[in-house]
A = this chain, B = another copy of it.
Amino acid sequence: MKPEISNPTMKDVAREAGVALGTVSKVVNGIPVGESYRIRVENAINKLGYQVNSYAQGLRADKTHTVVFLIPNTAEPFYASLTYHVNLVLLRQGYRMLLCCTDYDSDLEQEYIAMAQQNKVDGIIGLTYNPDLSVHKNTPFVSIDRCMGSGIPCVASDNFAGGQLAAEKLADFGCKNVAFLCKSSSISNEPNKRKAGFENGCLARGLHCEMKIVGDNEPYDTFEQFLADHAPSGKMSLDGIFCVTDGLAYFILKMLRRLGLDIPRDIQLIGYDGIRFFGDADYLCSTIVQPVPDIAELCVRLLLDKTIREKPSLLCLPVTYAYGGTTREDAPNSQLY
């Protein structure tokens, strides 16, 4: 069935859906309404082929319905997933996303922010490791994974709790001697709290814990040496590893296999992020899962919802543990499987 009305208006949508005009307006502008109302309005919009004239909307409201999204790249799986989910949330609410991959270039980042401000965008959502980034206070900004100072809320997974959970899981699965492996930026950021959480969890559960923190520009070989040093005669003295990201875990798994070790029999491993390749049902490794769709929703809500007056400086979303083949379900202390 093709739509019968040639240029349907919001009124036509309201009539078709059997709801008040204000309800249609709310749905179109992304303001929450009851689920059943939203569905009726969306069905009516689809049936009639109603098009929001967001350009005109922008002119009326001195808004462009455009949000800049700053991200180092979209090639790394966590960034790729974050970009995808933020994009879907924005588009669903009638906003456009200007994507700016920064490639970790601080000057480029600053340039994109200047561009955003010149173009009167409605706001910026950014994951940036630029400590000197300057954002005009009139431009709403929501930061992911790094606190950037007053007036800029930061959204992150609960990194401390995630580190703690990793320690608890390794303890549950029978580990005694564990290590935390990390590639770390010197710039203060939320993911750095994974270390403190893990230490805390190890202490609480009586695990012996070593730390191997490697600078951002140091090669992965440093980890390979660390692991080899712990397996001098082919026998590994560590029985559990927590990697700061699934990306690092990917490389550590390869190194452990090169040392002739069986995972999870000889050594168990937990990563962080919750990466799955190609929409696979299986995780890359046992992992602490970041709630990426929730992070995306929250960033957009904080940026665009004008009814939120007092914006918290840090908002942490809960993480979960997921089995991904690199931990032992049959471990003696395992209570959860």
Contacts and interface: CB of A to CB of B under 8 A. Distances in A.
Contact of A84 (B51, B73, B108, B112): B73
- Among A83, A250, A251, the one with the most B-chain Cβ atoms within 10 Å of its Cβ is A83
A280 B103 CA distance: 17
A96 B76 contact: no
A97 B98 contact: yes
A55 interface: yes
A262 to B, nearest CB: 14
Interface stretch (A113-121, A172-180, A194-202): A113-121
What is the copy number of this chain in the assembly? 2
A106 to B, nearest CB: 12
Interface of A: 46, 51, 53-55, 66, 69, 73-77, 80-81, 83-84, 87-88, 91, 96-101, 103, 107-108, 111-112, 114-115, 118-120, 247, 250-251, 277-280
A151 to B, nearest CB: 23
A315 to B, nearest CB: 23
A279 B75 contact: yes
Contacts of A251: 278, 280
A87 B114 contact: no
Given A55-B119, A74-B81, 14 more contacts: A51-B118, A53-B118, A55-B118, A69-B99, A74-B80, A74-B83, A74-B87, A75-B80, A76-B279, A83-B83, A83-B99, A91-B101, A97-B99, A99-B99
Given A80-B74, A84-B73, A54 B118 contact: yes
Given A115-B96, A247-B278, A250-B278, A101 B88 contact: yes
Contacts of A101: 84, 87-88, 91
A278 B284 CA distance: 12
Contact of A278 (B55, B66, B77, B88): B77
Q: Which 9 A-B pairs have the closest CB atoms?
A: A80-B80, A247-B278, A99-B99, A74-B84, A87-B101, A75-B84, A74-B83, A74-B80, A74-B74
A278 B72 CA distance: 13
30 contacts: A51-B114, A51-B118, A54-B118, A73-B84, A74-B80, A74-B81, A74-B84, A75-B81, A76-B278, A76-B279, A77-B77, A77-B80, A77-B277, A77-B278, A80-B80, A83-B83, A84-B101, A87-B99, A87-B100, A88-B101, A88-B103, A91-B100, A91-B108, A97-B98, A97-B99, A98-B98, A99-B99, A247-B277, A247-B278, A250-B280
